[in-house]
Structure 1
């Protein structure tokens, strides 16, 4: 509430500043940077009619404190030359009295498809002094769903679609003068690559992002103007089977082959226009590339590549395609929308570190690290023979999870393999059929993922914790291919909601993922049935789970809102949330959930009502009574979160209804499951106990006793080890972080014996495992999302950087946890509003906290002392630099505006 009072004061400040005379830009204290549209930098082909614009204001003098934006002015125009207050032809916002820099909704002229929008912004500081205009940014508008006129085309469907050759498509386009502007929008079921006159258009890979192809296809927009020439041109498309063959995406209106629809307009310098549209006039021919495997659980396979079938000039103007066939036209009932998320790209090259011969003509390469991505191999073999390429996560096995590729050796005895429409996952690569030893430089890999930027950084005095943090983030990056987070990239590639719980706070604190989660949120909406049921994965349907998996449809938008202040994601999610909660209510009795078994074939799947999953030593599903307890508690969590969302949306009656329903369920579950003698639920196990406390299950009089029982479970029964799984572990860390019990987390993260993250690392893991035990014996994944919730703790607790009452980090909290295991911490977080820094150390009986608060924000700082505090080596009594200082029984709270500060006090 203190911060809220500060905001009331600042509103009065903004009103008064709006009446100040405006000084020239040269006098200003602020500069504007990092312009983004819908979270993206200069996005092409968006289909949001009222896009949101964001920027950061930065101090020109980094040592100056208390800097605020009091007004902004936005200009949007159809060309850079028109970006002046007098000529902006799309929008001139005028001077807006507001500190807002994030997600400002466009309110200009209606935006038509194929429009390029250039924009810039300037601001005034609290003295009314103007900044310079920002550098211009841009976005372009793609077609709306009802403007999509391109035909879906592909190869003729046959009996063995899943093993058909990935097709080439080409079309001649004639221009009467050079291209001035040209964007092509390409939607595909299955992956695609776009070529113009023999050149691949950009460096993106494995596009588009994965969608629910029962309902939606997303188009990717490419700028092709620079590759077009006056006269004859050829547009080429290479399609990859991939998700087109996924069994759960099959429907009668489309084949299990890749299909594509593309359209765009070329604007020429002579003011003529040329339309490019896929239809039956496009030519098609099989390539020398095809899928191995069925693109399903344990059989995502790889690729077969045949150089004898490859035609290097297939996408060039001078190639004679007279013997190619006409493309087949299909009419799938798919909604087409823009792909508004960062592209998949290779972000890191990985080189083999060791190659060993394991048998005649068989070699095994160690890549040094477990990773998911593409392979680039240059090999030798007997002409016409097949070289097998086997991927493995386990050191003693050639093949795991059935990931394998193959390449035919050419007539000269060479074999060049380049991953194109599938990807490797593992650390070791076995090559069979190779006639001479490859060199280290002949075997390369690339980590491929959605190319969102890194936002969080952390280091501390404990090498083990640094290694856990780095390995957690490396693991997470290997799970982010395709615009959603998979559980594992080799065996399932499913977007589990339970695993979403385990990863979301780590992802939000370490990466800029507003667009990423907005896309994944839409995937959850696309999978919901009319009765409100949601599968346990999105957009992929397959896989087991329970309310803690499907209920991610409530958690995801709420966490994104708190991190980015995005009200629109709450608005878009609200109907889905209401239907989901109605579904749970319909499957309850006496204010507790019933076990429900639902799938689309009317059968009762074994894995449909899971609670926590993969806790230490777990062999499968818990007893029904324990699952009923856990899932009923999770229902309360969904109700509580939905009530908070309703508050933000102004739905007062819904908020009251969901809180009242949560109270009813809370009373019933506590009455049935509470062991009053032991002050516990579910035998005192960490995960259900934590969830019970998160949802306020114990009455107030019992809550301290339940806390003590949980503490005893961690410290004494489990000797400081974690004993929780995926969803339960996420809830355990949520509880401990939000209640300042970092001492308990510090115990867990310092362990090196089983079960612990340190144990995995001591066993040689380079990525976090699926289970606490060695995955080899259990045939589990060695690269998995299960326990990645640990990656949020260093930033949110040890550095203390957390969102405040006002969502989106316009104000935030800095409450570092000074755990005794550490001597120092250094961290930063590139928040939507600017870079926050937090660093502390203890030495010579003193503690020092150095922080940096970005311009236009304020921070609430908690120090664990009521003794003498200095700031900048001066006593903390100069109130001019602080909004307020408060003391409590054991702490001091300081409210500050932007700037750099250094606080010191005696331990």
Structure 2
């Protein structure tokens, strides 16, 4: 429905006037008559807050946290429900329950009422009969309202539910609502209403407790064995008024006690007041927690693990990629990356799901998006999020550091590597899915971002002003700082050039010839000034950090002799650090790929397979089940890096997953034929692995790359889906030594061309499955 078609009114409930707790969730109900010979019945609904619908006693919401989180003042999604099978001839009833959600609840560093101070519901039910008649039931002042068992529901703080206040059958037509109160009409715009775009949030899996712990302080702790996002349901029989409390945490401290300091002000606590009946069951509905451990207090008698279930929620994304190899710690790391994505892809790509933050940080999203697109189908997920980015984009082209924007009016926006999500994310989605429509839709936003950078300060071709995060949480950060040692203007100017380069590529795809010329010239000027400002006459970078060298090389900012020197300097920096990384959020995602690009995949393997701190596998060895925000989130002795900035489910460093897919297994899309219409598969075996397998469910079907070194032989299996072609590189061999399915290459079906390329054999293949074998020697 277009917003102008709505005839319903926003209905709300005045808690203060009606002497009800302002935190309690309002319940709205309406009875109506339906005639015979009904052809179809459809509900259109949304809310200011989050809502659930019931019809004739049936809860309609398989999808959670409706209407989802968008830039509410500009974009508010509506949902459609086909309820034809639930409508009865005669009297019927609809029920709506509201909670604060992101709309009215506290979010980021803000108190309650960030988007608005009143929860409200909007609904239209269309009844269409076989004879063409149509009846409409709408929200208006004929509805009735009351509060019920949900005493409090908060995204950060949890939910309090008093079962003694339940109103059995309240959404049935037979329920007596004579003592319910009238609703109020809220004068609120409908111009921002849009049909649902998001991938809905659902319960995607369930976990039973892996064990029951008794801490040194005597607390009972359920261990679910996995850091996850969602809630815990339970059943019990207890006297009326018994209070059960569940507190949630990610980790235990060094002594094995329940640890919540890193949650900051988020309480993450569920409370249930028993009704006093047999086999009561409770499951939260309007809050979610990030946790592995649950402290249970007040539960009567001995706790049975069977009584508790963890419900894992996230956006219902299809999982499209798998990666495994001969190193079980790496396999666990891949699992941690995927679980981090599950926990943080909850309607928006959040930074973390547990503390008083849970925001759509643009920097985290852009560094992880390529890995995310391997693991899951994120096309629709990021399309919706990028539309909010564009909606919240400042008039001058600046981009908020969180989307939806939770920092309006602050000067802390448009940081390099964060605002660049406006360009990097659309381009990455185009590469992965081959859809020009989103690229075209976002192109104005992309160009506005580059022009915003261009307008800053007095030097048009350098970015040396405005707020910057820098290389966030890099290990070379000065004492007392979260930003790494790489100069912020160095990083900013590097991303200026990078975003301009991607803008040029987008303009080429879309056929914007004038923009191609204009922004090619801009990119060249930015690179020129980058070299004047940050490279000495002899080719030395002014910043002797790993991140500075990685960005200069990855973004193509240095050439010829200067590039050769920067490559050698990066190698020397790694040698000086005993092959330990020092990079943060902006350097780490490019580190291993850059080493591969300069011909030192061997060093990338050293970093990726290292068990010592700092490394990806260090956290795995410490028992991590998701990606940590800090390399040393928890030390080997059980102590913590810090209390105030220490998430244990923070996917940014999980961007290494892209390297496992694209380098170790070698699956990549051809930029000239995006969306895996033409796939490039170039596996690069390295010391420490003798087997790797990756699969990816592309828009055309499954792509497979598997290699195994065994008994002196290399076996490589490749699958290319129908209606695609591929370029495959067989490493360290020559044409005469390779067989496919037992036949010589010149005799094998599906091979269009065979050429030698340095130490590899390059093949042009038709779709199909292939198995190559040859003697392996380095």
- How does the TM-score come out when normalised to structure 1? 0.78
Structure 1, 620-629 or 659-668: larger mean CA deviation: 620-629
Q: Is the 8 A contact 2:351 2:360 kept in 1?
A: yes
Superposed displacement of residue 178, structure 1: 4.8
Q: 2:223 aligned with 1:366, yes or no? A: yes
Counterpart of 1:377 in structure 2 is 234
Which of the residues 642, 650, 654 maps onto 1:778?
A: 642
CA distance in 1, matches of 2:250, 2:187: 41
Q: Is the 8 A contact 1:479 1:489 kept in 2?
A: no
Cα gap change, 1:424 to 1:849, in 2 (>3 Å):
same
* Partner SS state of residue 457, structure 1: strand
Q: Is the 8 A contact 2:152 2:161 kept in 1?
A: no
Q: Is the 8 A contact 1:217 1:335 kept in 2?
A: yes
Counterpart of 1:354 in structure 2 is 211
Superposed displacement of residue 479, structure 1: 0.7
Which of the residues 524, 535, 555 maps onto 1:695?
A: 555
Superposed displacement of residue 690, structure 1: 1.0
CA distance in 2, matches of 1:453, 1:873: 36
Which of the residues 128, 131, 144 maps onto 2:2?
A: 144
- How does the TM-score come out when normalised to structure 2? 0.91
Q: Is the 8 A contact 2:71 2:388 kept in 1?
A: yes
Counterpart of 1:792 in structure 2 is 658
Q: 2:205 aligned with 1:344, yes or no? A: no
CA distance in 1, matches of 2:689, 2:283: 46
CA distance in 2, matches of 1:626, 1:794: 29
* Partner SS state of residue 710, structure 1: helix
CA distance in 1, matches of 2:527, 2:766: 41
Cα gap change, 1:761 to 1:251, in 2 (>3 Å):
closer
Deviations, residues 324-354 of structure 1 (Å, cap 9, x unaligned): 2222222333511122232211111111122
Q: 2:771 aligned with 1:902, yes or no? A: yes
Superposed displacement of residue 879, structure 1: 7.2
Structure 1, 330-339 or 852-861: larger mean CA deviation: 330-339
CA distance in 2, matches of 1:646, 1:275: 47
Q: How does 1:200-219 map to 2 (within 5 A)?
A: 200-219=59-78
Cα gap change, 1:788 to 1:623, in 2 (>3 Å):
closer
Q: How does 1:275-290 map to 2 (within 5 A)?
A: 275-290=136-151
Q: How does 1:565-580 map to 2 (within 5 A)?
A: 565-580=434-449
Q: How does 1:170-319 map to 2 (within 5 A)?
A: 170-246=29-105, 255-291=116-152, 300-319=156-175
Deviations, residues 715-769 of structure 1 (Å, cap 9, x unaligned): x123223321212212324534555643233212211111112111111111111
* Partner SS state of residue 883, structure 1: strand
Unpaired segments ≥5 residues, structure 1: 1-142, 598-607
* Partner SS state of residue 560, structure 2: coil
Cα gap change, 1:724 to 1:254, in 2 (>3 Å):
closer
* Partner SS state of residue 275, structure 1: strand
Q: 2:517 aligned with 1:646, yes or no? A: no
Counterpart of 1:389 in structure 2 is 246
CA distance in 1, matches of 2:20, 2:631: 40
CA distance in 1, matches of 2:2, 2:344: 31
Cα gap change, 1:524 to 1:741, in 2 (>3 Å):
farther
Superposed displacement of residue 660, structure 1: 1.3
Q: 2:14 aligned with 1:156, yes or no? A: yes
Unpaired segments ≥5 residues, structure 2: 635-639
Which of the residues 380, 390, 411 maps onto 1:525?
A: 390
Superposed displacement of residue 224, structure 1: 1.2
* Partner SS state of residue 210, structure 1: coil
Q: 2:182 aligned with 1:326, yes or no? A: yes
CA distance in 2, matches of 1:399, 1:390: 9
* Partner SS state of residue 792, structure 1: helix
Q: 2:349 aligned with 1:484, yes or no? A: yes
Q: Is the 8 A contact 1:545 1:610 kept in 2?
A: no
Q: How does 1:472-871 map to 2 (within 5 A)?
A: 472-542=337-407, 546-593=415-462, 596-597=465-466, 608-616=467-475, 618=477, 619-622=480-483, 626-675=487-536, 679-683=540-544, 685-714=545-574, 716-736=575-595, 741-775=600-634, 776-779=640-643, 780-804=646-670, 805-864=672-731, 865-868=733-736, 869-871=738-740
CA distance in 2, matches of 1:859, 1:867: 18
Query: What is the Cα-based RMSD across aligned positions, in Å?
Result: 2.6
Deviations, residues 2-33 of structure 1 (Å, cap 9, x unaligned): xxxxxxxxxxxxxxxxxxxxxxxxxxxxxxxx
Cα gap change, 1:698 to 1:419, in 2 (>3 Å):
same
Cα gap change, 1:329 to 1:826, in 2 (>3 Å):
same
CA distance in 1, matches of 2:754, 2:122: 61
